[in-house]
Amino acid sequence: MNIYELIEARPDVMRGKPVIRGTRIPVELIVRKMGEGASIEDLLDGYPKLTRESVQAALVYAADAIGNETFIYLKTGISN
* pTM as predicted: 0.82
Domains and CATH numbers, the chain: 3-67 (1.10.10.10)
Q: What is the pLDDT of residues 7-66, one digit of tens each?
A: 999 999 999 999 999 999 999 999 999 999 999 999 999 999 999 999 999 999 999 999
Phi first, then psi, for residue 20 (nearest 5°) are: -70, 125
Question: What is the three-state SS of the chain?
Answer: CCHHHHEECCCCCHHHCCEECCCCCEHHHHHHHHHCCCCHHHHHHHCCCCCHHHHHHHHHHHHHHHHCCCCCCCCCCCCC
